[in-house]
Amino acid sequence: MALWKYFEQLNAVPRPSKKEDRVRQFMVDFGNKHGLETIEDAIGNVIIKKAASEGMENKVTLILQSHLDMVHQKNNATVFDFDVQGIDMIIDGDWIRANGTTLGADNGIGVAAIMAVLASDNIVHPAIEALFTIDEETGMTGAKELDGSLLQGKILLNLDTEDDDELSVGCAGGIDTNTSLDYQETSIAENSIIYDITIAGLLGGHSGMDIDKGRGNANKLLARILWKINKEIPLQLIKFDGGSLRNAIPREATTQIAIHSDNDIAFKTLFQLDTAVIMEEFKTIEPNFKIDLHATSASGKAMESDVFNKTINALCAVNNGVFRMSPDIEGLVEASSSLARVIIKDGNFSTQSLQRSSVESTKAEVAMSIRACFELIGATVTQGGDYPGWKPNPSSEILQLMRDLYVNLFEEEPKVKACHAGLECGILGVHLPGVDMISFGPNIRAAHSPDEKVQISSVQKFWGFYLKTLASTPSN
């Protein structure tokens, strides 16, 4: 299957969000190599157009869309430079994964599927406008700044969902909340013992698709430990570093604290008791979860105690996880928030979080609750990157066509769903009014984490369904 060849070629190109120059050039070179009309719009999206197969000239022009960037995340123990290295892929039974890093199946499988059709001489298809957007993972800049005048297609297939039995017809919008607070530092008290506390081994995952799975958030869990111990034994916080990316559930976090030597035995006892409780709570969901304590040497000054109390209170109080379930669509998370990043060091406390909702009013409400929590401690709060959701259209022509195709091919009904991820369709619909849209894809698990993997047999299923859809496009 040609898809795998192009996925391998794509994964050899470093493609972090906001640094897509190399992958954009890769796509331009690909289009030119195959003699296809290739365009870059002003923001950097790449559009490649291909004429219809013989006999398909009277069919509706299709827009095939996927994003070029990928989440770059690795395990702490993995030595890897995303800026220069290609992804090291491993076949593991029926799955493909990467060696200690994200795989890039999100959305590389979609990109490769489009490339395979553009390069083919024998796949039946209508006229195609392939749209490869940039910066989906950190702001959807490509979709927001798309020049819609470059596209004339009336149906858009977005290849960016992660379950092969689902047809997605709606998604959540989102907004970023970033906070900052400068604080006074103080010297570490004499006769102190310095400890590093590290949380690692959590599943993490996509902060939209996986937010309802009950997984541990390393930032919240570490703040919880500090809060509980500090109520019994005074702590000095030297630094805190948790999470990695704004749209990933944080898997790892570390903090450095100081305690008076007189309290050392009591501290260790409390630490063991508190961590045992947490480990018991998460033993079913998080089988590889670890909380480690190590004595170390001081590496800086500590946060002033009043500010420490305020910031730990805020981290413990701030909403994280599901905010509201949809009352209209069974099983759909309507609104959520994920505390993705926390950094405390060198006199500055900062956080990054992402709020999502399929309803604009509850998106505003959950964003308000995060703002209010941090403003209470005097932090500066900046909210931006706002993007709309995608409202389901139950009368969609492409939905009915693909639902019927799915039943004929697989003898079962597909799940027609809206998802809690931030697909680009809502934003693209602003630039492409009246375009009928749907999203589908193969089974991808643990996207946005180093455990990301894609199922080989599911890609085969997706590929057959995709080709059947191209061949069945309605007439003009």
C-alpha gyration radius of the chain: 24
Query: Is 69 annotated in the active site?
Result: yes
CB atoms within 10 A of CB 261: 12
The pair of three-digit structure tokens given for residue 292, joined into one six-digit string:
């480690």
26, 139, 176, 306, 435 from 179: Cα distances, Å: 37, 17, 10, 18, 38
Sheet bearing 62-67, strands edge to edge:
37-40, 46-50, 128-133, 62-67, 155-158, 436-439, 166-171, 415-419
Cα–Cα distance, 395 to 400 (Å, whole number): 8
Catalytic one of 40, 41, 69, 129: 69
Q: Please state whether 355 falls in left (phi above 0), alpha (psi between -120 and 50) or beta.
A: beta
Q: Which of 120, 8, 15, 5 is nearest to 64 (CA)?
A: 120
Determine which one of 40, 136, 163, 164 is catalytic.
136
**Rounded CA separation 3/393 (Å):** 30
Phi, psi dihedrals of residue 199, rounded to the nearest 5°: -110, 130
Nearest to 192 by CA among 265, 262, 256, 294: 262
The Cα 211–Cα 355 span in angstroms is: 11
DSSP reduced 3-state for 318: coil
The answer to whether residue 94 is catalytic is no
Distance separating alpha carbons of residues 377 and 349, to the nearest angstrom: 11
How far is residue 322's CA from residue 208's CA, in Å, rounded to a whole number?
10
d(CA 157, CA 424): 11
Provide the angle, in degrees to the nearest 10, between the axes of the packed helices 21-33 and 2-11.
Answer: 140
Q: What are phi and psi of 396, to 5 degrees?
A: -60, 130
- Cite the DSSP H helix spans in 12-72: 21-33
CA dihedral 340, 252, 289, 308 (to 10 degrees): -80
Measured between alpha carbons, how far is 133 from 141 in angstroms, rounded to an integer? Answer: 8
Residue pair 407/165 in contact (Cβ under 8 Å)? The answer is no
Task: Give me the active site residues, please.
Answer: 69, 136
